[in-house]
Amino acid sequence: MKPCLGIFDSGLGGFTVLSQVLARYGPVSCVYLADTARVPYGEKKSSEIRKIAKEVVQWLSDQNISAVLIACNTTNSLALDVVENVSRVPVFGLIEAAGRMVKENRVGVLATPATTASNAYRKMILSFRPGTQVFEQPCPEFVPLIEGGKLCRDELRICALKYLKPLLEAEVESIIYGCSHYPLLETILREILPEDVRLVDPAIGMASQLDGILGIPKCSVMTRDLLSNTRICVTSDPSGFASRAKALMGECPDIEVVSLTSQACFF
């Protein structure tokens, strides 16, 4: 049987992870779940994020998957143990992947308020490189703006200036995308940042850890065909999600609406 990856996020952010996986391995089989009914996760309480993680992984586990990719840093930082306990297949997280990618001594992390409050990034980076100075910056407005389809708006730039200021003052040498939505802001961030500040996408590290499951990398460019073996599922608003996904990726396959609980679900 061909391997199938189960990838989840609260919304569009996980597409940045999916893109890295498909770019490395070609059109492998994936089930992508966006929990659009509950996006954003980043300002929810830890107990809620843990409860949601359990439901999401129980659902994914019923989809014949070979591995779970936590394409959501908020879940990774607050509910990794829940995901690992519920999953019957190997689990891959973005935060450990990021920890392995850090080379600098002064590192910034842009993330959701829940992720920064957990200090998961600081702990992981220090476990790989003790003595690293880690500056974690919560960015509460980014995900609601991205999910609201405002990718090109001035509002995003104003927020980016505000969130990057403390990191620039701290003279960071690299900045980690500590939320999977943020690689979508690369152009805006790059315009503001000095050239020598490295932007680190943990999804690149995570994708490189999948060779054991997916075999030899194929290094494809992102094209429409790459999504041909991806099933995209949402928990609400399929048409809104489809149009936002299309704006981001140029193409979006059919979208299924699923219920994560056993009750029937009507939209």
By the criterion CB under 6 A, which residues form the site for ligand DGL?
9-10, 13, 39-42, 72-74, 112, 115, 143, 179-181
The owner of tokens 């620039």 is: 168
Q: Which is nearer to ligand DGL, 26 or 151 (CB)?
A: 151
Distance CA 162, CA 75 (A): 25
Of 5, 108, 8, the C-alpha closest to 53 is 8
> 72 an active-site residue?
yes
CA distances from 200 to 42, 53, 88, 179 (A): 20, 25, 30, 11
Give me the catalytic one of 30, 72, 139, 233.
Answer: 72
Give me the catalytic one of 30, 139, 179, 233.
Answer: 179
Minimum distance, C-beta of residue 95 to ligand DGL, in the bound complex (Å): 10
Contacts of 10 (CB under 8 A, 6+ apart): 34, 35, 36, 38, 39, 40, 41, 42, 72, 74, 143
User: What's the token pair of residue 223?
Assistant: 């094209």
CB-closest chain residue to ligand DGL:
42
Minimum distance, C-beta of residue 182 to ligand DGL, in the bound complex (Å): 8
> 265 an active-site residue?
no
Residues annotated as part of the active site? 72, 179
